[in-house]
Amino acid sequence: MKQHVLIVEDARMFSKILQNRLEERGFSVIVAENLAAAQKIIGQDRELFFIALLDLNLPDAPNGEIVDYVTACAIPCIVFTGYFDDELREQMIQKKVVDYVTKEDPSSIDFVIHLVCRIHENQKTRVLIVDDSATARRYVLELLAIQQYKLAEAAGGEEALAALARYPDIRVVLTDYMMPEMDGFELTKKIRLKYSRNEVAIIGMSGYGNNILSAKFIKYGASDFIIKPFLVEEFHCRVSQNVEILTHIRALEDAVTKDFLTGLYNRRHLFSVGSKLFASAKRNQISIATVMLDIDHFKSVNDSYGHDVGDMALRHLARLLRKNLRETDVVARMGGEEFCILLVNMDREALEPFLHQLCTKIANHHISCNDKVVSITASIGACATIHKSLDETLSIADRCLYRAKAQGRNMVVIE
């Protein structure tokens, strides 16, 4: 995803605060103080920016000309203004800006930072619009495109269910109520048979809205309801709030199942998933190779370079493991510098060369941190067969790991 943000603002203190806050969040920020400077920057690469933060009144563009220029370059923008009225609001809606923010409120900076982060995340969030009216679909699609959502559309319930099967990244479904063959209620019920409220949010829409209709949608499984025609700001808020609820739920689930430092699964989740895989393997439905991996002399890395570099080494190793494993495999951090991998349906003949290759890739991987370049090696132990229990299988792989350590490290031992 694009990471660059353009700030066009002549008040240096304001732009500097925004720049620092955004860079703390990992964004790359370029600042221009006027329209001419912005034109020069955008002229070099207009595809660079995913969002622009614009002052509405600049020395060489006192009447909002910067907004017209940036939107003409197909860069979504958030507008700063020192005043606000209904006429200005209508102008900003017509110009299809992401949002407008008044500078007079100190909390406006927090709001802008939150909004930039939200728009950035929207680039990987897909929304499905379901409406039998092509005109209504097109209008909603245009609104969502301004917020940089990934989009899908359907003219009816069956198309919507097919789209959900086709796009596993759909997080929000916006469905009209009055549709032929399958109305919004029936579609909502069918979606809920497969997707929980924690997985997909459903927002009902209708031009015949009343409290009863809203209540029915919610009871059938919808997350929210909005009456058409709606205010643009209300629409964006409803969609954004539902996306953020799903994001918070996922963060809570990750906190339970994933290791905070590396993003890999934790020991608890490994045993939860591993027990199910082990049961399938016992019924000869799948095969599992159990692998234990430990970084060699990791204490010396922490002692020589500091714990920050040690943490970076763990994160780098986690990324390397994810890159070299298949989606069907399970990798978890067991604690400290020890990791466990469950390789599903890997032939015994392929296991040994795969693990040796993995060992070599770890040894050849260099980690740059400031002016330091750090290399690590790992010892690997593996159990290629299923024993009485998952614990016993892990213990055998662990014993093989210690044999690899005893025989000189940076090597593989397989039962």
Q: Where in the chain is the domain with CATH 3.30.70.270?
A: 267-414
What single string gives the DSSP state of each residue in 171-214?
Answer: EEEEEES--SSS-HHHHHHHHHTT--TTT-EEEEEETT--HHHH
Work out the percent of the chain whose per-residue pLDDT is above 70.
99
What mean pLDDT, rounded, does the chain reach? 92
Question: What are 17-74's pLDDT values in tens digits?
Answer: 999 999 999 999 999 999 999 999 999 988 899 999 999 999 999 988 999 999 999 9
Whether the pLDDT of residue 145 is over 90: the answer is yes
Q: Where in the chain is the domain with CATH 3.40.50.2300?
A: 4-120, 124-256
Question: What are 224-236's pLDDT values in tens digits?
Answer: 999 988 889 899 9
Rounded Cα gap, residues 121 and 238, in angstroms: 16
Question: What are 347-404's pLDDT values in tens digits?
Answer: 888 999 999 999 999 999 988 876 778 899 999 999 999 888 899 999 999 999 999 9
Q: Where are the beta strands (DSSP E) in 349-407?
A: 366-369, 372-375, 378-383
Fold designation for 4-120: Rossmann fold (3.40.50)
Question: What are 245-284's pLDDT values in tens digits?
Answer: 999 998 898 888 999 999 999 999 999 999 999 999 888 8
Rounded Cα gap, residues 380 and 398, in angstroms: 9
Query: Which superfamily, per CATH, for 124-256?
Result: Response regulator (3.40.50.2300)
4: confidence class by pLDDT, cuts 50, 70, 90: very high
Query: Can you give the pTM of this predicted structure?
Result: 0.75
User: What is the average per-residue pLDDT within 122-143?
Assistant: 95
Rounded Cα gap, residues 107 and 130, in angstroms: 36
Identify whether the C-beta of residue 175 lies closer than 8 Å to the C-beta of residue 130: yes
Query: Which superfamily, per CATH, for 267-414?
Result: Reverse transcriptase/Diguanylate cyclase domain (3.30.70.270)
Of 149-153, 203-207, 368-372, minimum mean pLDDT range: 368-372
Whether the pLDDT of residue 210 is over 90: the answer is no
Residue-level pLDDT at 371: 73
Rounded Cα gap, residues 140 and 150, in angstroms: 13
